[in-house]
């Protein structure tokens, strides 16, 4: 597999073309950002931890029947993935209230949401990733109605698999964000699943073990990601 040009540089990952037009290399950097890029820092080991964390989760999801872009780990900070045509949307499921939903709706952090709720956000940093609904998606042509339904169905299927996986490790999956793309016309899970894009709390103490540690300046960010991984049985070195 030959690495060629940088195709895209995000806030925490870079994507490269390869000699295979259908495959890309995803590089997890140590860069960490929050608040749509307004807070940025380099955190040692984070690229490696997130790359291995993502590989573990993507393999679990594949085994549960969720089609993902993940092909295989290449090295500490890089993975090979299928090239998707990304849909410009972020799919969020919330099992417990935290973050923006608390600010928007004035609900207390930790409120249990029964049933879990779903939100779409438009992927656009300049606009601060605004929340959008099914009608916006249709009217502005960001995705087709059947793709919208598929994204919802897959995002909830991921919830069934991962809620239990984290619970078995003594953690609560509070919320998470997924991104999807098209591969040969099918809606396929892309991007990543790491503690950068979800909230995880210790089941007993409700200690935050995810990127809120960075957002809120709580310290031990990568140490917490590794703790989550260790509880799931992930080997980092």
* Cross-strand pairs, 70: 81
Contact flag: residue 41 with ligand ASP (CB under 6 A) = no
Residue count, binding to ligand ASP (CB under 6 A): 9
Task: Quote the tokens at residue 213.
Answer: 């540690």
Q: Provide Rg for the chain, Cα atoms.
A: 17
Q: Which of 18, 33, 77, 194 binds ligand ASP (CB under 6 A)?
A: 33
Q: Which does 34 bind (CB under 5 to 8 A by kind): ligand TMP, ligand ASP, none?
A: ligand ASP
Q: How far is the CB of 176 from ligand TMP (least distance, A)?
A: 5
Contact flag: residue 208 with ligand TMP (CB under 6 A) = no
Q: Which of 36, 149, 168, 223 binds ligand ASP (CB under 6 A)?
A: 36
Burial of 76 (0-12, 13-18, 19+ CB in 10 A): middle
The window from 41-49, 66-74, 96-104, 226-234 that contacts ligand TMP (CB under 6 A) reads: 96-104
**Rounded to 5 degrees, what are φ and ψ at 131?**
-70, 135
d(CA 136, CA 10): 25
- Show contacts with ligand TMP in window 8-37 (CB under 6 A): none
d(CA 170, CA 68): 26
Q: Which does 100 bind (CB under 5 to 8 A by kind): ligand ASP, ligand TMP, none?
A: ligand TMP
Contact flag: residue 54 with ligand ASP (CB under 6 A) = no
Beta carbons of 214 and 220 less than 8 angstroms apart: no
d(CA 63, CA 161): 10
Contact flag: residue 127 with ligand ASP (CB under 6 A) = no
Q: Which is nearer to ligand TMP, 175 or 226 (CB)?
A: 175
Q: How far is the CB of 40 from ligand TMP (least distance, A)?
A: 14
Task: Quote the tokens at residue 101.
Answer: 């939903």
């Amino acid at each position: 597999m030959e690495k060629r040009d940088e195709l895209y540089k995000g806030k925490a990952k870079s994507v490269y073309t390869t000699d295979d037009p259908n495959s890309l290399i995803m590089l997890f950097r140590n860069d960490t950002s929050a608040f749509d890029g307004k807070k940025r820092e380099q955190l040692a080991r984070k690229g490696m931890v997130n790359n291995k964390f993502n590989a573990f989760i993507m393999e679990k999801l594949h085994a549960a029947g969720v089609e993902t872009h993940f092909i295989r780990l290449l090295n500490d900070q890089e993975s090979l993935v299928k090239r998707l045509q990304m849909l410009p949307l972020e799919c969020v499921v919330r099992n417990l209230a935290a973050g923006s939903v608390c600010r928007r709706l004035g609900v207390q952090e930790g409120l249990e949401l029964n049933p879990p709720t779903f939100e779409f956000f438009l992927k656009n940093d300049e606009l601060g990733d605004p929340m959008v609904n099914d009608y916006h998606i249709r009217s502005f042509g960001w995705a087709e109605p059947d793709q919208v339904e598929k994204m919802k169905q897959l995002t909830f299927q991921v919830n069934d698999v991962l809620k239990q996986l984290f619970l078995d490790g003594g953690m609560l999956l509070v919320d998470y964000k997924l991104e999807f793309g098209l591969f040969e016309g099918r809606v396929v899970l892309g991007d990543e699943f790491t503690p950068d894009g979800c909230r995880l709390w210790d089941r007993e103490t409700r200690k935050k073990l995810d990127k809120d540690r960075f957002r809120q300046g709580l310290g031990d960010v990568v140490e917490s990601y590794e703790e989550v991984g260790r509880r799931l049985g992930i080997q980092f070195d």
